[in-house]
Structure 1
Amino acid sequence: MIHDQAEMSDLWYAPVPRRPVGYLHPSRMTAGRFAATACAAARPWHARTGLAARLREHAGRNRCVLTASGRAALELAVRQTGAAEVVMSTFNCPAVADAVLAAGARPVLVDLDHVEGPAFTSVDLDGRAVVLTNALGLDEWRAHAERIEETGGRVVLDLAQASVAPRVLRRFRDAACPIVLSFGEGKQLGGLGGGALLTSAQHTSAPLVGAGGLRRGGDSAPLRRAVVERIVAHAPGVVRAAVQRGQSRTPGWSYTKADHLPTEAGQVTQGEPSRWEVASVAALLRTASSVADEAALTHERVRSAVAAELTTCQPVAADPDFGPGIELVFRRPGQRFLFAWALAERGVPSTWNYYPLHRLAPYAAFAAGPMPGADALWPRVLTVAKQPQPRLTARLLAEAMVAADRSVREQEAGRD
């Protein structure tokens, strides 16, 4: 559903640094965490039950269902609500809509504004489930949960993009809603895959942890890849540059999102996580709080340093715990790519993730109405990495962003 050549140019990905200073999803697999993961994988039942107990305690829930993926956990959460229709923001990952469809429910897509958040109350919520995904790092629970429940909606809190630090989970101990977690490689925890549903519901069709076993075997390749990525991130610049050149020649590499827009709804992988996935989460969760604290501090320092300096864009007033990066919104389309190019020249990675679901063929029929907010917003959003890693300091990020802003102004002035 791409309408013109101008929109095609907006689908270009942010350039990747030829000599990376940092990474969008840095590996957390240190030697110590690798050893802890290997030890936990050797005792899969112990790792599984221990992980489930810790997640239940942090979130104040009495049940934890470990799943093969975050979207599988979301499917179970939707089934648990019993709702035939599920309201969600159109500014979302297709996996969220796929999980709703897999649960046998109908998605209802609503518009989104980067200040007010999703327009949940633009539709009737009575008897419907509402999935909160904290798009752009906005705290949708604080802004919308009370109103949703007052009008008869049933909240499902999807924390797939949020930090899985214990202090984050504890925010929702008194919230009577299911919580969905995801532990994929690109998530803030930095795991190898899998997900979890945390709930206090008395009845659920999902198997509980402790019933059955983990997926046997499991591919350890993601663990080896995480170790290599950690080593590369600490390597000299010439090594990082060589690795980047190699990755840009791998099959499937693309410079435009147009090559990756789905043409049909995706399938949801059923079953339980592998022993390696559970073991990595168990090991990484031990230091999740310190990593989340460091990322949040970087977020706030950068935002305060650049807020008065940037003229082409502004940081979203997001909760630092609810997004993996710092979200910038530009004044007009076209500036995002120029800004990202200038960042890449300084070795700073950036990306953009969102393309409105109502513009994609598998989900267009579920739009609740016109989506002017999301249509205007998606070409103007850029995510800058903030997760703790070597060299990518708050000072470096702020200086790179201010320099990129200046570069965009100069290029625009040259055109005039």
Structure 2
Amino acid sequence: MGSVSHAAMISSSKLSYGGGISYNKYKNPQLRTSVVSLRNWRASSRNLGVLAAQIGNKEIDFSDPDWKTKYQRDFESRFNIPHITDVFPDADPIPSTFCLKMRTPVMEDFAGGYPSDEEWHGYINNNDRVLLKVIHYSSPTSAGAECIDPNCTWVEQWVHRAGPREKIYFKPEEVKAAIVTCGGLCPGLNDVIRQIVITLEIYGVKKIVGIPFGYRGFSDEGLSEMPLSRKVVQNVHLSGGSLLGVSRGGPSVSDIVDSMEERGINMLFVLGGNGTHAGANAIHDECRRRRMRVAVVGVPKTIDNDILMMDKTFGFDTAVEEAQRAINSAYIEAHSAYHGIGIVKLMGRNSGFIAMHASLASGQIDICLIPEVPFHLHGPLGVLRHLKFLIETKGSAVLCVAEGAGQVWYTTMFSYQKPDVHL
């Protein structure tokens, strides 16, 4: 509690007060415009890892015998986790008040240990690390290869392990924790709010509030903070939406921090996407500039599943499941018409996870177009030529398109040839 100032990951059962992973990078490097037939997906994706390394790591001199060490150092510096002792080096840690073996939260003697003398080995050591990539690819042509250099050299990349620490830096009785949900709705928001509140109470935190309607709730005088407790959130996970409400945008960072200081908030949990966490990072920087003893914890929220180092973001599974309903409707319409063509556009400005997973899960899509994979509309290998082939052989076709597929701005990054208007 308090050893993380920003970008801590939260699991469903434990708050990562002691460490986490930075999340403000996309899971997929923006390579080129995209689109590919499902039958060509596997072949086209083989080179993505090499392309990403060539695009994102041009400054690396692979002829340097120490390039591997330099790359690891750069990686560690970019994903370093801010700690409250960076600003307050004299901050004294206290024994953690978190223990899953306790039936009820610790109420009074926060620094005196646990109700029993039994030792609990459920803490994470600060030096624990997680290996980011577990497959050693021997060749860039291997299926799914993600290579840094043309020789696919094995480079270990380690990230902090999330979980409860044995020492914390905030006394629970002095904590006022606030939770805010920003951006759009996402399936699972209430589940996350509920678990944060329950875990905070396990630590012994008594003052927990919700900020209504995103960052706007910090400045709008007509909006009051909502007291939260286990009793309030007990069944909230059975309802959709957000208990606290959501909104986009909000006041300036300075106004938000002023409001936090006035309310006595010293722990802020921010649930949101990329824009929201850019704001959370700015709030953290402003608190640090003012030397405020505040922890800002980011909880990634996106149905796009495009957050680096996360296997899956909450809400993604539900989005894929619901997308299949639209795909099935388009499939029925297309196959009921003469030479029918169905087109389903799904969310995904910079990533095609929803489109790809929904297409594969439904088994009804003939062409899937996503931002990560380049394509041409025209020419012998173009989408239109393949679409014509599908109509001639199957009598109908269904396409699934991620909203970011084939954006024009990609053409400024790569060479562009005028399309052949003839099929």
TM-score by length of 2: 0.27
Which structure would you say has the larger RCO, counting Cα contacts within 8 Å and 6 or more residues apart?
A: 1
Q: Larger Rg: 1 or 2? A: 2
Q: As a proportion of its length, which structure holds more helix? A: 1
